[in-house]
Amino acid sequence: MKVIEKDTDELKLAKWWEPTDSNKILCTLCPRYCKIGEGQPGFCYIRQNHNGKLYTIGYGRPTGFAIDPVEKKPLNHFLPGTAILSFGTAGCNLGCKFCQNWSISKAKLDDFNALISSPEDVIMLAKRYSTPSIAYTYNDPTIFGEYVIDISKIARQEGINSVMVTAGYIDKDARKDVYKYIDAANVDLKGFTERFYNKLTFSHLTDVLDTLVWLKNETDIWFEITTLLIPDENDSPEEIKRESDWILENLGDSIPLHFTAFHPDFRMMDKPHTPAETLTTARNIALETGIKFVYVGNVHDLEGQTTYCPNCNTKLIKRDWHSVLSNKIVDSKCYKCKAVVPGIFN
């Protein structure tokens, strides 16, 4: 794929790349490790080789902003009921056939008439709308890591949180840079077989598991996990059980896990919507395995969207879809038995 001629004076030089012997550039930002020829983009489109250097053409070019509830990311244990300024860019480093956001992730910047927004502009927007957090979301923010770093660094100074909504498909060294000023993340664990990752996302499960273990063991970042259940692809009780066992063993019992409903989209129009019973079955399997906070999403299910006290089982946060109906957590504790609820609540 050829890219449109660029005036490199206007472009942001990328981090995480090196030249190769074959006159190509090796991008080391994600485990795809694209070798990119002159005038060409990498798989994610927004990292491009111009005159032997790698540029990030998504830098400062959001495809649009929205104010979302933080529950939409989804994050249920991070400042519940608050608003979050959300944006993404064009492009993506995964190739999910079921992408639920494909009009953004598969777009080229020129298709999108992207905005021009400096990191300071993004901070100004968060302040104008009084959102306590900014989400890097919609496409995968890994691919605009330089922009994430510059925004989240200022956000940290200004007391604004930064949230990555990501597939977690990122190089081990690059993630230390990209997540330096990140406060929370939701990581998609898209399935629990290499077959699924390979065939339907063009990526690899092991790299994502590695990022999850790194987040748990090497950082203080609050994170939650989402699995979009697709009928007959990743929704078998056996696969859910193996995923739950792995989470319990490697991440513990307190990382919230969200099972969300798929709708037919992009290159996967032949599958039906996920039945609500499938989500409930998955939730029950994870709870029985020992994971304490398991939620369902993209459906109305008061039971499956409630946060219960991990000690006395009192209903603490009632939700409907992305709305918080009531919140009885006080100082990060159950109002009744005073047990600590894992998360960031104030």
Report, in Å, the least distance between residue 130 CB and ligand SF4: 33
- Figure out which of the listed residues 57, 85, 135, 143 binds ligand SF4, where binding follows CB under 6 A: 143
Binding residues for ligand SF4, how many (CB under 6 A)? 12
- DSSP reduced 3-state for 46: coil
Q: Are 317 and 303 in contact (CB under 8 A)?
A: no
Binding range to ligand SF4, per CB under 6 A, among 41-49, 56-64, 109-117, 306-314: 41-49
Q: What is the DSSP letter of 305?
A: G
Does 29 help bind ligand SF4 (rule: CB under 6 A)? yes
Does 96 help bind ligand SF4 (rule: CB under 6 A)? no
161-166 and 133-136 strand pairing: parallel
Does 42 help bind ligand SF4 (rule: CB under 6 A)? yes
Binding range to ligand SF4, per CB under 6 A, among 42-50, 80-88, 190-198, 278-286: 42-50
CA torsion angle for 78, 84, 88, 94 (degrees, to 10)?
20
Q: How far apart are CA 266 and CA 233, in angstroms?
A: 16
Report, in Å, the least distance between residue 17 CB and ligand SF4: 8
Binding range to ligand SF4, per CB under 6 A, among 26-34, 97-105, 108-116, 294-302: 26-34
Q: Which is nearer to ligand SF4, 246 or 266 (by Cβ)?
A: 266
Q: How far apart are CA 153 and CA 177, in angstroms?
A: 11
- Residue least distant from ligand SF4 (Cβ): 42
Residue 286 CB burial class (10 angstroms; 0-12, 13-18, ≥19): buried
Q: How far apart are CA 199 and CA 105, in angstroms?
A: 18
Does 57 help bind ligand SF4 (rule: CB under 6 A)? no
Binding range to ligand SF4, per CB under 6 A, among 27-35, 130-138, 191-199, 251-259: 27-35
- Figure out which of the listed residues 19, 33, 111, 206 binds ligand SF4, where binding follows CB under 6 A: 33
Q: What is the DSSP letter of 292?
A: S
Place of tokens 């529950």: 71
Q: How far apart are CA 36 and CA 19, in angstroms?
A: 9
Site for ligand SF4 in 151-210 (CB under 6 A): none
- Figure out which of the listed residues 2, 93, 108, 165 binds ligand SF4, where binding follows CB under 6 A: 93
Smallest CA-to-CA distance from 145 within 29, 57, 44 is with 29
The CA-CA-CA angle for residues 296, 298, 299, to 5°, reads 75
Q: Which is nearer to ligand SF4, 56 or 298 (by Cβ)?
A: 56
Residues forming contacts to ligand SF4 in the complex (CB under 6 A) are 27, 29-30, 32-34, 42-44, 47, 93, 143
